[in-house]
Amino acid sequence: MKLFLFILCLIQNPFVNLPFADAAVASPPPASTGPAQASVVVPALPIANSRAASAPVSNAPAAAPIRNDSAVDALLNEDVIRSLRDPFALPSVLLTKKDAPKTDLEIFPLKDFKLNGVITGPKKTRAMVTTPTNKVFFVRVGDRIGVREGHVSQISPDSIRVLEYYTDEHGKRMPDSYEVKMSGEVVSLSKQEE
């Protein structure tokens, strides 16, 4: 009942501090066998109200607001701070394909692949490649292959060309072209050109 009267008085006149509001916050709840009553502290807010401006204001001390330090401590927790996203980093949607899961074609070096054959069709040409674990894949131009972010750049009747990238001593990303032949050998085309 006191809570209802307190809220009703605050709605009608928000600038008046009621004497029982301090008692509800400061004193511990009475030990009774009935249902527990909740105590609420509502700070008086300056609200533009025509009736509030003419009401007398009491000089009684205002009830101190209850401060919840556990919420502040939780926000200042080092684990919480580290879990927040860096506002200057790119969103995870824009991450490169380096972070994408690797397929079976991307976990072995080129020298471990064997070219079994080439299938030509009216629309596209595909090459049949075997991995060291004896899995067979049909690759086409543009498919990723090898551990150095390579991709198939050309398929000929007896070989496939793979363009891989490496980082040179100056930190520059450089292309390197290889040819996987039907005989099983892998030839670096970049070193032949030099």
Task: Set out the domains of the chain in order of their start, with CATH numbers.
Answer: 2-71 (no CATH), 97-193 (2.30.30.830)
Rounded to two decimals, what is the model's pTM?
A: 0.46
**Could you say which residues of the chain have pLDDT below 50?**
18, 20-27, 50, 52-53, 94, 193-194
Q: SS3 string of the chain?
A: CHHHHHHHHHHHCCCCCCHHHHHHHHCCCCCCCCCCCCCCCCCCCCCCCHHHHHCCCCCCCCCCCCCCHHHHHHHCCHHHHHHCCCCCCCCHHHCCHHHCCCCHHHCCCHHHCEEEEEEECCCCEEEEEECCCCCEEEECCCCEECCCCEEEEEEECCEEEEEEEEECCCCCEEEEEEEEECCCCEEEHHHHHC
- pLDDT at site 23: 45
Query: What's residue 18's pLDDT?
Result: 46
pLDDT in tens, 72-103: 666 666 666 666 767 776 665 545 555 667 88
Each residue's pLDDT tens digit, 109-130: 988 999 999 998 888 899 999 9
